[in-house]
Structure 1
Amino acid sequence: MTTTQALDTSATTLLRFATAGSVDDGKSTLVGRLLHDSKSVLTDQLEAVERASLDRGRSGPDLALLTDGLRAEREQGITIDVAYRYFATPRRRFILADTPGHVQYTRNMVTGASTAELAVVLVDARNGVVEQTRRHAAVAALLRVPHVVLAVNKMDLVEYAEPVFAAIAEEFTAYATRLGVPEVTAIPISALAGDNVVEPSARMDWYGGPTVLEHLETVPVSHDLTGCPARFPVQYVIRPQSAEHPDYRGYAGQVASGALRVGQRVTVLPSGRTSTIAGIDALGQEVDIAWAPQSVTVRLTDDLDVSRGDLIAPVDELPAVTRDVTATVCHVADTPLTVGHRVLLKHTTRTVKAIVKEIPSRLSLDDLTQHAGPGRLVANDIGRVVVRTADPLALDDYAGSRRTGSFLLIDPADGTTLAAGMAGAAFGGSAAPDDSPAADDEGWDF
């Protein structure tokens, strides 16, 4: 928007979405076009882009520069890091994650899509569906992104031919349906020329669907997590030393899902000890109820041993407590993940030692078959793993909770993230309870 424009966004809904696609499919240009044509670019930003474009010998503004901010990105003409942009229209507010298309940076696409409610997958109309397109569709399905938009870009380079668009849309939709993607909306566009991005294209009168922005503004989005089982990962124990409250003990954190109420019976996991919520403090005041995603402090009637990483949940809606985590992972590191690999598993506010016990299968993106017993996963592989943890974890299925069903596998030597994991039913299977004795933490022999 210009510096003199302002929007009242108090009553509008919020949509988090991510872009994905192969290198040079035009993701950054699409994002720049969205920002430019929806008048969400400040005057000084546009002037800076125009100057940078002239310095690079362009006759007009290169809208991709609105998101490609790193020097290496501008030099190579590719997106490397996830670029977040915030903009609004009179109908909705948006948080946009422009993710890299290069296969080397698929890990960043996982990061950008992990919190998205919608993914825009771009395809070059000249190339059609390629391996990276299938990989991004698989990641979107794996992360349970509820809405997927197929943007068939560069229609101007195929003379706006409807048969080209129809063939690509049919192939991608069939593939996404097999992955379990619940909804695909296909839109033919030219990000460079602006066709069907914000304004309808007069050169594709055979298309009667929405533009990209129109679909983003109208797609149904629900942020209501209060109907889910309550989950409260403890982040910090508060014990203020004051004469006024000498016995105060509170457990601070963010409500991941559901709602907690004063007087509610709860269980602290993984210990299994039960208590009652005596009070809830929010912003320094006592409240009767707290719901996701509020940050609050919970006080219990009993003096229990509760620490960072514990999970507070209602006694009648408990997650599985397990030390054998069966999950689908997207391996994002250059170092292969192998059977016997010693890792750290980070789940909500809890980090425990773990060992990769099995790698039952690896997903083939070409035909969606599972290759049994691959032995290891390399960068960008998607596969099933069984991880044995040193201590029990209170874990939900990812299908039921993206927050408490996800985890990271981390290299204990240098802190590098190895894989992003989705517990349970991402591609089948579930986390099973385990009652075995505690592990030898020091020896990593689980």
Structure 2
Amino acid sequence: MSQLRFITCGSVDDGKSTLIGRLLYESKLVFEDQLSTLEADSRRDGTQGDALDFALLVDGLAAEREQGITIDVAYRYFTTPHRSFVVADTPGHEQYTRNMVTGASTAELAVILVDARKGLLTQTRRHSYLVSLLGIRHVVLAVNKMDLVGYDEGVFAAIVADYAEFAAEVGLENITAVPLSALRGDNLTGISPNMPWYSGPTLIAHLESVEVQDAAAQGPFRLPVQWVNRPDLDFRGFAGQILGGVVAPGDRVRVLPSGQTSTVARIVTMDGDLERARAGQSVTITLEDEIDVSRGDVLAAADSPPGVADQFEAHIVWMDEGEMLPERRYLCQIGTATVPARITRVKHKVNVNTLEKTAAETLALNEIGVCNISFDRPVPFDVYAESRDMGGLILIDRLTNRTVGAGMVLHALRRADNIHWQAVDINEASRRKLNGHGAAVIWLTGLSGSGKSTIANALERQLHARGCHTYLLDGDNVRHGLNRDLGFTEADRVENIRRVTEVAALMADAGLIVIASFISPFASERRAARDIIGEGFIEVFADAPLDVVEERDPKGLYRKARAGELKNFTGIDSPYEAPEDPDLRIDTTATTPEEAGALLLDRLRAKGIIG
């Protein structure tokens, strides 16, 4: 028996939950005890007087029942003699757009409800755009509450005409319109005598018969490697779910991103070897050749491989309360690969209510934009329009592990194909020998007035006296030149530290001991600096309480911030995320700059940077 995954969406009070509840009721999937509970709940929480409120079968959260709206995504499962179904009841409110995206990400069909009394609303257009964006190609336009307009054919025809015009703008083509009353059961499971002018299928008849083809499943072979199966020395297989095409022993396959080729030796399952496997099956594949294959790699048809790139243009749906910050490093999961990634540029954001494209530098919660995204290494991909699994991605906060965004790859940015790493003869070991010491980046972080710059200056004097090659990067000084174009918004602070990190990494590669003195308020950017610079990175927390640094206030900045003359000042109206586990914490209320410098010299000796 085939399965159909679909969503219901639309504006608030269009009847999504009632529709699903009625389908469950009509499908005889509501047991006696559930029916008794529904009757009691309808009397207490219902909105239909003495009648059953079918929405309560789906709206499970207390807040949903209190407000009569859907907040979270509710999944329900039911079966008819012809097909099984997984249905997601998604929220209608704009602030829950991220929940709607979650429900739609795996759906094959969307039921978009429209209240016959109101016609197309902003949320109707919003959800239709999202449905198109997320690759759902089959739409049912369910014109609900026809009983409240006297089952008027003219009302139905006008709504269908309006929707067809809008659907053409967002690229929706396979649309089936059904007039119904979810509450009364009209045209849900049986043809309604109240609308003799309608000759189309009932809703359930259409859901049972619609043919939904997965383009990826019909395409060339794809298997992202989930696990390298090595139970003993004689067996090495690559396990995962086939996302597209078919494969058989003897087929030539290509491993991406490496590009190596081999031949399929066996297709192994718990029930024995298979002669052929197809999309949707989870298998373990062994190869004739001993080649390097790891989790995150993709086995693909040798003559029809996916693309490989490290820069993309993608639609990004932002799903976090904190705004997206360009150049901040996130983790990106695409297929079975997880790689560090940065959104390098927001090209524009889309007003999903009007489809207008507007300039933007960041994305806020529930906003959608077209962005450039850069990975730390090349990954295999197909564009989202061809494969949701190979072209869909999620962005994860590196510190909290929250999912903060979802993306759909539009195409690769080929600019990286024209840039190649130039080999050079002089390396870090050569520079170390010439300088007589190793390279390092000593990263001093702390509130303004905590003593970072004073410690940095004292340390450089001590290193200079020892004949060490150094350079001091100071937060204020770089804003006179390299970063003079940046302000103090969160996005600008992220970019400020990104540029300084790259400069510090180049200086360390040149063999210098770099002393970087920056407030660097965000833990994510300091962690990114550690990742980029590597073993030579030493994080030093210049620790002083806010009341102490306010009293010091060497530049008068706290006074201005308290007076409202200086916006986005760290510690006052902009956050400072103190290091939880720095390499060295210096209490600047009890340690002199010279003593702090001596402590840092000891740390450099311990790491073998200086003798």
- Output the TM-score relative to the length of structure 2: 0.66
Aligned mates of 1:101, 1:23 — CA distance in 2: 5
Tell me the CA shift for residue 416 of structure 1.
1.9
Q: Deviations over 1:89-117 (max 9, x none)?
A: 22222111111112222112112111212
**Residue 2 of structure 2 is aligned with which of 2, 13, 33?**
13
Higher relative contact order (CA 8 A, sep 6+): 1
Mark the CA change 1:107 to 1:347 in structure 2 (over 3 Å): closer, same or farther: same
DSSP 3-state at the match of 2:253? strand
**1:323 is the counterpart of 2:314:** no
Tell me the CA shift for residue 433 of structure 1.
7.9
Partner of 1:102: 93
Aligned mates of 1:248, 1:92 — CA distance in 2: 40
Tell me the CA shift for residue 364 of structure 1.
2.8
Q: Deviations over 1:26-61 (max 9, x none)?
A: 100011111112323223222221122223364122
Partner of 2:131: 140
What one-letter code is carried by the residue in structure 2 that aligns with 1:279? R
Q: Deviations over 1:123-151 (max 9, x none)?
A: 12222222211111011101111211111
8 Å contact from structure 1 (residues 320, 432) kept in 2: no
DSSP 3-state at the match of 2:29? coil
8 Å contact from structure 1 (residues 320, 433) kept in 2: no
Aligned mates of 1:224, 1:340 — CA distance in 2: 34
Partner of 2:383: 397
**1:314 is the counterpart of 2:301:** yes
Aligned mates of 1:194, 1:24 — CA distance in 2: 17
Bigger strand share: 1
Tell me the CA shift for residue 445 of structure 1.
6.4
Q: Deviations over 1:358-392 (max 9, x none)?
A: 11122233443332x32122222222111010011
Tell me the CA shift for residue 66 of structure 1.
1.2
- Equivalent pairs counted in the alignment come to 426
Runs of 4+ in 1 over 6 A off after TM superposition: 438-441
Q: Deviations over 1:207-243 (max 9, x none)?
A: 22222112212222335855311111111111113xx
Aligned mates of 1:73, 1:140 — CA distance in 2: 24
RMSD: 2.3
Aligned mates of 2:356, 2:399 — CA distance in 1: 34
What one-letter code is carried by the residue in structure 2 that aligns with 1:33? R
DSSP 3-state at the match of 2:390? coil
**1:412 is the counterpart of 2:401:** no
Q: How does 1:14-413 map to 2 (within 5 A)?
A: 14-56=3-45, 58-222=49-213, 226-241=217-232, 246-371=233-358, 373-413=359-399
Mark the CA change 1:168 to 1:289 in structure 2 (over 3 Å): closer, same or farther: same
8 Å contact from structure 1 (residues 113, 140) kept in 2: yes
Q: Deviations over 1:169-197 (max 9, x none)?
A: 21222111111112112222221122222
Between stretches 435-444 and 103-112, larger displacement belongs to 435-444
Sequence identity percentage: 48
What one-letter code is carried by the residue in structure 2 that aligns with 1:28? S
What one-letter code is carried by the residue in structure 1 that aligns with 2:187? N
8 Å contact from structure 1 (residues 397, 423) kept in 2: yes
8 Å contact from structure 2 (residues 309, 412) kept in 1: no
Between stretches 112-121 and 201-210, larger displacement belongs to 201-210
Aligned mates of 2:109, 2:415 — CA distance in 1: 33
Tell me the CA shift for residue 122 of structure 1.
0.9
Aligned mates of 2:397, 2:214 — CA distance in 1: 33
Aligned mates of 2:181, 2:155 — CA distance in 1: 14
Partner of 2:450: none
Aligned mates of 1:367, 1:52 — CA distance in 2: 39
Tell me the CA shift for residue 349 of structure 1.
1.0
Aligned mates of 2:382, 2:51 — CA distance in 1: 51
8 Å contact from structure 1 (residues 356, 385) kept in 2: yes
8 Å contact from structure 2 (residues 349, 367) kept in 1: yes
Between stretches 101-110 and 206-215, larger displacement belongs to 206-215
DSSP 3-state at the match of 1:338? coil
Mark the CA change 1:223 to 1:93 in structure 2 (over 3 Å): closer, same or farther: farther
What one-letter code is carried by the residue in structure 1 that aligns with 2:263? T
Tell me the CA shift for residue 434 of structure 1.
4.0
Aligned mates of 2:145, 2:412 — CA distance in 1: 42
Partner of 1:5: none
- Output the TM-score relative to the length of structure 1: 0.89
Aligned mates of 1:49, 1:100 — CA distance in 2: 21
Unmatched 5+ residue regions in structure 1? 1-11
Q: Which has the larger radius of gyration?
A: 2
8 Å contact from structure 1 (residues 327, 431) kept in 2: no
Tell me the CA shift for residue 166 of structure 1.
2.1
Unmatched 5+ residue regions in structure 2? 422-501, 506-526, 534-611
8 Å contact from structure 2 (residues 125, 353) kept in 1: yes
8 Å contact from structure 1 (residues 322, 433) kept in 2: no
DSSP 3-state at the match of 1:279? strand
